[in-house]
Amino acid sequence: METAYYEYGTAAERWDRAQLFFDAKEYVTAARILTGLVDEVPEQVAPRLLLARAYYHSARLAKAEAELRAVLERDPVEHYARLMLGRTLERQGRAEEAAPQLRMAAALSGEFTPSAVARSTHRSALTR
């Protein structure tokens, strides 16, 4: 596919097309479309979050981490971005860094309970 394909159409059309590719598990293609969209509207969280998810699912974890951190700079209480950042860090073997992100995600989503804290602490101790 030509580069023009990834840039074709309005922002809304590219967003729809990127979602279709993402839903079809064509994560690399979705990411190529979303990269231009994120460059065009960097203040919007949704395209950047979907780009991070596409990177995560295509095992481009450093890029996923960078996008997730950018999302959290714009929206520090975005619990799904915190959860994804925690999972991304875990997948990179960085469980100690992941644990606070996962706890914050649980707290922000209302799932932070004493048993969740115990599981998180236990998981973190096991991976040290």
Both ends of the chain: CA-CA distance in Å? 45
What per-residue confidence (pLDDT) applies to 68? 97
**Predicted confidence (pLDDT) per residue in 24-57, tens digit:** 999 999 999 999 999 999 999 999 999 999 999 9
Please give the chain's pLDDT, 128 residues, in tens. Answer: 456 777 888 999 999 999 999 999 999 999 999 999 999 999 999 999 999 999 999 999 999 999 999 999 999 999 999 999 999 999 999 999 999 999 999 998 887 655 555 555 555 554 44
What per-residue confidence (pLDDT) applies to 1? 47
Q: What is the pTM of this model?
A: 0.81
What per-residue confidence (pLDDT) applies to 113? 59
What per-residue confidence (pLDDT) applies to 110? 81
What per-residue confidence (pLDDT) applies to 9? 87
